[in-house]
Chains A and B, each alone.
Chain A
Amino acid sequence: MTTKKLPIQSEALQALQSQLHKAFPRLASGKYVHFFLVRHSRSFPVFQTDGVLNTARVQAGLQSTKMMSRLVIFKRKQVTPERLMGRELLRALGLTSGNEGDANYCQYNGENTCKKCPDCIIYGFAIGNQGSERSKVYSDSAFSLTPYEISHQSFTFNAPSEAGTMSEQGEMRSSINELDHVLPEVNFPAVETLRDPTWEAFIYVLGNLLRTKRYGAQESRTGTMTNHIVGIALCDGEVFSNLHFTQALYDALKARGEINGPIADICQQASQVAQELLTQEPVTKQQLIFGEALEQLLADVTHIYQSSDQLRTVLETLYGQTTTYAQEYGALHGAKEEGKRKGRKRRDQGDESDATESEQETLF
Chain B
Amino acid sequence: MPIYQCTLTLHDNVFFATREMGILYETEKYLHNWALSYALFAGIHVMQSYRLVGPDAQRPSYLDPTSEQNLLPLNKEGIYVFPAKPLQWSYQVHTFKAAQVHYYAEAVKFGDCTGNFPINYGRAKELAVGSIYQTYILAPETVQIPRWIRLGKWAAKVHVQIQTIAEVESGSGSYICTHPLNPLDLPPATRLLLYNRIVMPPSSLVSHAQLEGDYWLIEKRTYLPRGVAYGANYPQIHSPTCPSH
Measured CB to CB, the residues of A under 8 A from B are: 24-30, 49-50, 54, 56-59, 74-76, 84, 108-110, 128-134, 136, 138, 140-141, 196, 217, 219, 237-244, 281-282, 329-330, 333, 337, 341, 344-345, 347-348, 350-351, 354-355, 359, 362-364
Q: Are B129 and A242 in contact (CB under 8 A)?
A: no
Question: Least Cβ distance of B182 to chain A in Å?
Answer: 11
Interface residue ranges of B6-21 to A (CB < 8 Å): 11-13
What does the 1/0 interface line of B87-108 toward A look like (CB < 8 Å)? Answer: 0000011111011110100000
Bound-state Cα–Cα, A24 to B236, Å:
36
Interface residue ranges of B155-194 to A (CB < 8 Å): 155-157, 159, 183-184
Q: Are B234 and A363 in contact (CB under 8 A)?
A: yes
Q: Which 4 A-B pairs have the closest CB atoms?
A: A241-B11, A131-B53, A241-B157, A238-B148
Q: A241-B157, A364-B202 are in contact. Are A50 and B146 (CB under 8 A)?
A: no
Q: A132-B57, A133-B51, A344-B55 are in contact. Are A243 and B99 (CB under 8 A)?
A: no
Residues of A close to B155: CB separation below 8 A? 75, 138
Residues of A close to B42: CB separation below 8 A? 28
Closest residue of B by beta carbon distance from A353: B241
Interface residue tally of chain B, by bracket?
35 or more
Decide if B1 is an interface residue (CB 8 Å cutoff): no
What does the 1/0 interface line of B36-78 toward A look like (CB < 8 Å)? Answer: 0000001110011111111111111000101000000000000
Q: Are A282 and B144 in contact (CB under 8 A)?
A: yes
Question: Least Cβ distance of A138 to chain B in Å?
Answer: 6
Residues of B close to A237: CB separation below 8 A? 146-148
Q: Are A49 and B95 in contact (CB under 8 A)?
A: yes
Bound-state Cα–Cα, A84 to B102, Å:
10
Residues of B close to A50: CB separation below 8 A? 93-95
Decide if B114 is an interface residue (CB 8 Å cutoff): no
- CB<8 Å pairs between A and B, sample of 19: A30-B43, A30-B44, A56-B129, A108-B100, A128-B112, A129-B57, A132-B51, A134-B51, A217-B103, A237-B147, A237-B148, A238-B148, A240-B148, A241-B157, A282-B144, A329-B51, A341-B54, A363-B202, A364-B201
Question: Least Cβ distance of A284 to chain B in Å?
Answer: 11
Q: A26-B49, A141-B12, A241-B11 are in contact. Are A359 and B234 (CB under 8 A)?
A: yes
Given contacts A26-B49, A28-B50, A196-B50, 4 further A-B contacts (CB under 8 A): A140-B157, A238-B149, A341-B54, A348-B55
Q: Are A134 and B130 in contact (CB under 8 A)?
A: no
Bound-state Cα–Cα, A150 to B93, Å:
24
A-B contact count (CB 8 A): 156
Decide if B140 is an interface residue (CB 8 Å cutoff): no
Decide if B116 is an interface residue (CB 8 Å cutoff): no
Q: Are A364 and B203 in contact (CB under 8 A)?
A: yes
Residues of A close to B98: CB separation below 8 A? 109
Q: Are B11 and A243 in contact (CB under 8 A)?
A: yes
Q: Are A350 and B243 in contact (CB under 8 A)?
A: yes
Q: Are A281 and B48 in contact (CB under 8 A)?
A: no
Residues of A close to B13: CB separation below 8 A? 141
Which of B48, B52, B146, B236 is A27 in contact with, Cβ under 8 Å?
Answer: B48
Q: Are A242 and B11 in contact (CB under 8 A)?
A: yes
Q: Are B101 and A84 in contact (CB under 8 A)?
A: yes
Which of A134, A196, A348, A362 is B203 in contact with, Cβ under 8 Å?
Answer: A362
Residues of B close to A59: CB separation below 8 A? 130
Residues of B close to A54: CB separation below 8 A? 94
